[in-house]
Amino acid sequence: MALNKYMHPRNIYKIPPDFGKLSVLYPEFAAISKTDVTGKITVDFKDPHSLRILTQCLLKSDFNLEVDIPADRLVPTLPLRLNYILWIEDLMEAIHRKEDIRGLDIGTGACAIYPLLGAVKNKWTFVGTETDTESFNKAGENVKNNKLQELIKFVITVYRLPPKNGFTGSPQELITEGGELEFCRQLIRESKQYRDKIQIFTTMVGHKYNLSVLLQDLKSEGITHTHAEFCQGRVTRWGLAWTYQNYDLYELVPPRGKSRKKHKPTIFLLPVLTSCGGNIEVALNKIKEMLNILCIEYKILDKRGGNITLEIVAINNTWSNQRRKRRLQNRTEADAKVPKLHTEQGCKLVHNPTSNQVEGESKLDDLEAPKSAQIDDNIKNQNKINEGESQQHKSSINSANNSKTEPLVHAFLKLQKKVDNILLELEFLDGSAGKEGLHQITQYIKNNWK
């Protein structure tokens, strides 16, 4: 199910853009769009060039902004960026700040999307920081082309903001030491130095697990904070805001997002194995082997001390009917050990029947041959399926999350070392197979933990 209905209430993209109108207004958009047999105009959202043209046309059509996005730089998802700006509007309104609003955008990028939107929409002033010279220069050009130099300034800094799950962009835009979580933690640590100079600090978070860790960090330090969920299509991001001023952000701007039922995690004690003992690294490798066999995407989110957290995404059901598959394999192996009935003499008898007995044997061969062939076909088909699933497993978990196909199971898998024991915890997040799908995966792990 698409998540557009969970956009910010004031987001103009709650109603999808009129591609027909864009095709008439902008020839470059008409060139990258396609019309199907029903007359519906579509765009390939997986093609970076198409996304770039679409974003540029929407900025021109809806905000009168002329923006040049380089081919090797990040293409901002406009509805999500607008969600973020609208949420900051809510924060400013909550603290009764309506004028002289100044923002600092760390890692502004070549597009300078946040300063441009904030300036043209609300007349906010911005200072944007950037580490990459090419992005810095292009951001300056975009601001100058839109005559917003009085509102937006740029400086080179040592900061680097990593957009999460982006599949367009340069390494400078997509990579930071320690990842998104460490970047945000550093931002929180450094914010303490400016607690009396900046009213509200905000950041966008691309991973739900990182958000939960950051919320816990802020809570443990007694820092007032709130958060929001931003959705567009099947992509979800989170906004995190905190302050050292006398504002109760949580009460003023309560966490906003679609309501989700908290699923109680399943926890069980992994049996002690001779090969594993109480070594959590060995246990992790064994879990990864099982996930590889099942072609389940996984990504290690956190690895500290005796706790390891993975995000897992299952696109296809590869864990069901394991007993049937084993029986089929055993039967095939048993058939391979049986001496072949069709000896050279037997073949001659089949082709030259001389008795009723030979006719009977011939009929028996005719009946059994298709059965044997069917088993071979089943094995070949299963091998093809396994090969296909193995190829699919090579794709990244990010592409699985961004895919239009809803995963069967999306969950957290955690390993926790308790003295000499290891606990396995699985928490269902979403997916069309529901909690039952995760239960089946859990059962597979239990059955094969030996």
Q: Which residues are annotated as a binding site for S-adenosyl-L-methionine?
A: 81, 107, 130
Q: How far is CA 343 from CA 307, 366, 376, in A?
A: 61, 15, 20
Q: In what order do the strands lie in the sheet with 409-418?
A: 266-269, 421-430, 409-418, 307-314, 297-304
Q: Which of 121, 127, 101 is nearest to 200 (CA)?
A: 101
300 forms beta bridges with 310
**Length of the chain (residues):** 450
Torsions phi, psi for 416 (to 5 deg): -130, 130
How many other C-beta atoms are found inside a 10 Å radius of the C-beta of residue 2? 13
Which of helix, strand or coil describes residue 33? strand
Identify the H or E element spanning 5.
none
Question: Could you tell me if 410 and 430 are in contact, meaning their C-beta atoms sit under 8 angstroms apart?
Answer: yes
**Concatenated DSSP letters for 332-370?**
HHHHHHSPPS--HHHHHHHHS--SHHHHHHHHHHHHHHH
Q: How buried is 165 (Cβ within 10 angstroms: 0-12 exposed, 13-18 middle, 19+ buried)?
A: middle
Alpha-carbon 408 to chain mean position: 14
Q: Which amino acid is at 123?
A: K
Q: Which two tokens stand for residue 116?
A: 């441009």
| Token code pair at residue 366 | 């005719």
For the record, the structure tokens of 18 come out as 């009129």
